[in-house]
Amino acid sequence: MKKISIATVVLALGALIVPSAMAQPQIHLAYDYVDIGGGRFEYEFELSVDDRWTQGMGWRWFIFGDIANNQPSPLTNFVGDPNDLPIGPWTAYTSSGGGHNGPTLGFVLAYWIPQSQDEKLNWSGTSTAALDEPALLYSTLAGTVGGATAADFTPASQGLGGPTCVYTLKKSKAKKCDDCPAEGSDYGTEAECEDVGDCAKKIRTTIACPGGGDGKCKLKGKRSDCA
């Protein structure tokens, strides 16, 4: 796994990467691991965006198991599963070294620009480390687009969660919004379930306009699945 020098790429870009120290990124990394024996642990990762996401936001140079100042990554001896490639715009596992150090998704300068709030990236791999929250950190470097906030040694959340309640939309009313979910489409929620019977029979909610702006969408739906 080739290591990429952060200092080299910064000079090539002709700009200094300044981390975002206070603001929380709109991108979120969750993970879980199991002991598979032989001193190795199998990890599952899921990268998603939260409800502050707006159309056009993008991130690049994604590092996980990150640590500062030329120290070895705590996610020791990580080997990514090649069967999970490509991962969004990224087609290889690599690593970064310098101010940030850890396994990295490459090509590092490719942007991940989600097309919806429901879009997720998933990958897996093995490591000789068992990292519990908040020991696994992630970062994005080399700038963002669309008003996105960079991650900078942000703790990943442990636990990927289970299936959630899905509803078929019966009504979708736009208020100053051009791109509300279509009537008849499926609408996923964050309500966890084991069976569709665990879900409320109907849903009635208001969401921000998916494309951004001040608009809103008023939604009514009937439960359809637990997935």
pLDDT of residue 16: 38
pLDDT of residue 163: 81
pLDDT of residue 2: 56
- Which helix (H) or strand (E) segment holds residue 6: the answer is helix 6-13
The answer as to CATH 3.40.50 being correct for domain 3-158 is no
DSSP structure string for 110-149: --B--SSTT--EEEEEEES--PPTTS-EEEE-S-EETTPP
pLDDT of residue 64: 98
pLDDT of residue 11: 39
Across the chain, what does the average pLDDT equal?
Answer: 89
pLDDT of residue 110: 97
pLDDT of residue 189: 85
Q: What is the pLDDT of residues 27-85, one digit of tens each?
A: 999 999 999 999 999 999 999 999 899 999 999 999 999 999 999 999 999 999 999 99
Cβ–Cβ contacts within 10 Å for residue 13, how many?
13
Q: Which residues of the chain have pLDDT under 70?
A: 1-22
In single-letter form, the type of residue at position 49 comes to V
pLDDT of residue 18: 40
pLDDT of residue 6: 56
Distance, in Å, from the CA atom of 195 to the CA atom of 4, rounded to the nearest integer, reads 46
Question: Is pTM beyond 0.85 here?
Answer: no
Beta carbons within 8 Å of 132's beta carbon, 6+ residues apart: 158
Residue range(s) occupied by CATH 2.60.40 in the chain? 3-158
**Cis preceding-peptide flag for 45 (omega within 30 of 0):** no
